[in-house]
Amino acid sequence: MPTATPSRGFAVRAWLRANTGPLIVVGLLALLPFAVALIDGQPLAEVLANQPGQAKFIQGLMIEVFILAIFALSYDLIFGITGLLSFGHAMFFAVGAYLSGIMIKSFGWSLAPTLGLLAVVAVVQALLFSVVLPRVQGVTFALVTLGIAEVFHIVIQSRELVGYTGADVGLQGVIPPAFLSPAAQRLRFYFVALGLAVLVYLLCRRFVDSPTGRVCIATRENENRALMLGYNTFYFKLTAMIISSLLASLAGFLHMLYQPIVSPGIASLSYTVNALLMVLVGGMGTLSGAPIGAAILRLLTFYFDKWFGQSSGFILGMVYVALVLFLPYGIVGTWKLRRFAWRSGWARLAQPLRPPSRDGERL
Amino acid sequence: MPDAILEVQEVHTFIGQFHILQGVSVSVPRGGIVVLLGRNGAGKTTTLKTILGLLPPRQGQVIFDGQSVQGRRSFDIAALGIGFVPEHRAIFRSLSVAENLKIAERARGDLDRKADFIFGLFPDLKRLYRLPGNHLSGGQQQMLAVARALVPDNRLLLIDEPSEGLAPIIIEQMMHAIRQLSAESTVLLVEQNFVVASQLAESYVIIEEGRSVQAGLMADLVVDRETIQRYLGAA
């Protein structure tokens, strides 16, 4: 159907209106370090100078959330949008962390060539995961990807490579560039991580709204129907895989910069399950659910550990059970599905509270 | 038949280890509507899937417009100009009506060219253009599934059970649409509802237990109560 092209100014305003919620969240996150300092009674100058305090600590926790958000978004792209269940996604993240860390530490590379190499390797590993796609699907694909990732998990722990990877202790002693030091330049790191997370979100959103992204959704819904329209679905899965691998590697790279030690655990199955959980808690295929899931997972894990100590795992498990029971499609997914029902229910509840209007209904 | 757009020649198709089609031949002349008849589980849908390469035949072959499609993959076969409307309202439920139609474009601008024709057949879709697919009623979803196959220039449309589970008034509308679109491309129909099938199609093929057992003109079949009784049960 031919539609009139709206003017640029109108389009911008419409976009702002449609994205009010996320924009407010990003604005609040930008103010968060200062708000924490105000509540804590720390002068704002100290926050700007990266002095230790509650504000710096919260920044650190949120940086981890932003990194996980990028990781979760990359997983939502292949799992939630394209419908590929990969159990090897942690490898994408770990390759990003290990490769960049080793290049900087052992080979003395600077950031730009390291990121360049990382991009190439990310594409190659996406191809490696995808060669099996035309033959295996569903659970079989999950197991094949798990196998590939486990091989990587074992290799980085091997004693032979201890000089590069640190074996089972993990990669340590990587000196991040001074301008992005997680300790001395914490506030700057915070805004870089936040900015990248927002950028990755917008990129994923753009991809999903593109014709290619639509075919990915169609492939997830019913691959045969997509084939019947004349699409070679393999290339669409491959595209999603490559983008996802690039983004997960970026998350891994940030993780390496931020953490003093890169543990081999980030290549394990449980790290993939983390991504899966974050996507499921937020709502699969919604994109906006992924960062929400990342925030919930990281913050709950941290504060439950702090509050409940030993029994935190048990309580976290109960929270997951409750989420699955009451929000079966994740937070964003369930809201999208039920918002009309919830809104009309709320309107009914609110009705008797309204004062009777003067010229309203007559009995 | 000299001018057949589709020739299915003695195909044998397996699903897993089961020998589902045991010799099906269908010849579809260019233009008009042919219907596949037969009981549940006779192999009608399997025949359509065999034509499209979703279930490649072990024996026999499928010739579309003088060209064997043997060894081609489904998306290549579809791109030759075959549109498929699967059973059960096969739309993409999380995409909007607009996106469902747009995604079927084979060349840029297909939808713009065909919009008037499609909305002429199904005026409802114009009204629902921006709605997500899962907000549509069953009948509307079926209309969208048919409309989607009309977006690119298809020379042959395979339509599986278009009337299944629809209200009589919607079936009327669907029959009217299929009759109109058959002016633009050939239609191979699977239809359990004999009343609908007999009013739409010019010719028929009966499939019984994986074999094509009889073919002919619909005009002859409607008066042949014995054949109807034998292969289609009560009618």
Q: Which residues of A touch B73 (CB under 8 A)?
A: 227, 232
Q: Can you tell me the distance from the alpha carbon of A68 to that of A64, in angstroms, rounded to the nearest whole number?
A: 6
Q: Report how far Cα B199 is from the mean position of its chain's Cα atoms.
A: 16
Q: What is the pLDDT of residues A57-109, one digit of tens each?
A: 999 999 999 999 999 999 999 999 999 999 999 999 999 999 999 999 989 89
* Torsional sign, CA A166, A170, A175, A177: positive
- Measured between CA atoms, the residue of chain A closest to residue B157 is A228
pLDDT for residue A352: 63
**Backbone dihedral angles phi then psi of residue A224, each to the nearest 5 degrees:** -60, -40
> Using CB atoms and an 8 Å cut-off, which of residues 278-307 of chain A contact chain B?
285
Cβ contacts of A230 on chain B, cutoff 8 Å? 75-76, 78-79, 106, 152
- For residue B80, count CB atoms less than 10 angstroms from its CB and return exposed for 0-12, middle for 13-18, buried for 19 or more: middle
The single residue listed with the structure tokens 């770990």 is: A94
| Residue B212: burial class (beta carbons within 10 Å; 0-12, 13-18, 19+) | buried
Token pair of B233, please?
């049960």
Q: How many CB atoms lie within 10 A of CB A248?
A: 30
Closest CB to A225: pick one of B76, B92, B94: B92
Of A211, A214, A227, the CB nearest to B74: A227
ipTM here: 0.79
Confidence class for position A363, pLDDT limits 50, 70, 90: very low
| A-interface mutation test, from B15, B54, B74, B153, most A Cβ less than 10 A away | B74
Contacts of B42 (CB under 8 A, 6+ apart): B207, B208, B209, B210
Say whether A228 and B84 touch across the interface (CB within 8 A).
Answer: yes
Residue B114 sits at the chain A interface (C-beta within 8 Å): no
Q: Is residue A2 predicted with pLDDT exceeding 80? A: no
Pairing of strands B33-37, B186-190: parallel
* % of chain B exceeding 70 in pLDDT: 98
Q: Are B133 and B91 in contact (CB under 8 A)?
A: yes
Of the pLDDT bands very low, low, confident and very high (cuts 50, 70, 90), residue A6 is low
Residues 6+ apart with CB under 8 A from A277: A293, A297, A320
Q: B10 to chain A, minimum CA–CA distance in Å? A: 23
**What letter represents residue B177's amino acid?**
A
Contacts of residue A93, Cβ cutoff 8 Å, sequence gap at least 6: A71, A248, A249, A251, A252, A255, A266, A267, A271, A275
Concatenating the DSSP letter of every residue in A264-292 gives GGGGSHHHHHHHHHHHHHH-TT-STHHHH
Higher pLDDT, A292 or B1: A292
A211 has a chain B CB within 8 A of its CB: yes
Q: How far apart are CA A92 and CA A124, in angstroms?
A: 11
- pLDDT score, position A5: 56
Q: Is B135 on the interface with A (CB under 8 A)?
A: no
| pLDDT, mean of residues A243-251 | 96
Residues of chain A contacting residue B87, judged by C-beta atoms under 8 Å apart = none
- The owner of tokens 């939502």 is A76
CB A259 within 8 A of CB A90: no
Cα–Cα distance measured from residue B167 to residue A33, given in angstroms and rounded to the nearest whole number: 61
Nearest-Cα distance to chain A for B8, in Å, is 18
> What residue of B is the nearest CA neighbor of A225?
B90
Residue A354: the pLDDT is 58
State whether A228 and B115 contact (CB < 8 Å).
no
Q: Return the pLDDT at B235.
A: 45
A213 to chain B, closest Cα gap in Å? 10
Helix (H, G, I), strand (E, B) or coil at B13: strand
How close is the nearest chain A Cα to the Cα of B79, in Å?
5
Q: Would the CB atoms of B94 and A285 count as touching at under 8 Å?
A: yes
pTM above 0.90, yes or no: no
Q: How far is A226 from chain B (nearest CA, A)?
A: 8
Interface test with B, best of A214, A219, A225, A228 (most B CBs within 10 A): A228
pLDDT of residue B1: 46
- Digit-coded pLDDT (tens) for A193-215: 999 999 999 999 999 999 899 99
**Which residue among A214, A222, A225 places its CB closest to the CB of B99?**
A214
Give residues with Cβ within 8 angstroms of B18, minimum separation 6. Answer: none
CB contact under 8 A, A1 and B106: no
pLDDT reading at A136 higher than 80: yes
| A336/B contact by beta carbon, under 8 A | no
Best of A229, A233, A287 to disrupt the B interface (most B CBs within 10 Å) is: A229
Measured between CA atoms, the residue of chain A closest to residue B126 is A1
From chain B, the residues in CB contact with A215 under 8 A are 103
Lookup result for tokens 């899962």: B134
Query: In angstroms, how far is CA A116 from the centroid of its own chain?
Result: 22
Q: Provide the pLDDT confidence category of residue A1 given band limits of 50, 70 and 90.
A: very low
Residues of chain A neighbouring B98 (CB-CB closer than 8 A) = 1
| pLDDT of the residue at B17 | 84
Judged by CB atoms closer than 8 Å, whether chains meet at B90 and A1 is answered as no
CA distances from A247 to A121, A255, A301 (A): 12, 12, 24
Q: Count of A–B CB contacts within 8 Å?
A: 60
| Average of per-residue pLDDT values in chain A | 88
Residues A341-351: what's their mean pLDDT? 75
Taking the Cβ of residue B74 and every Cβ of chain A, the question of whether any pair is shorter than 8 Å is answered with: yes
Nearest Cα residue to A285 out of A341, A332, A230, A317: A332
From chain A, pick out residues whose CB is under 8 angstroms from the CB of B102: 211, 214
Average pLDDT, chain B: 84
B86 to A228: CB separation less than 8 angstroms, yes or no: yes
Q: Is the pLDDT of residue B53 over 50?
A: yes
- Does the pLDDT at position B230 exceed 80? no
Distance between CA atoms of residues B44 and A113, nearest Å? 59
Closest CA in chain B for residue A213 = B103
**The predicted structure's pLDDT at residue B68:** 86
Name the minimum distance, in Å, from the CA of A209 to any CA of chain B.
10
Tens digit of each residue's pLDDT (9 = 90 or more) over B28-40: 888 888 888 888 8
Q: Is A295's pLDDT higher than 90?
A: yes
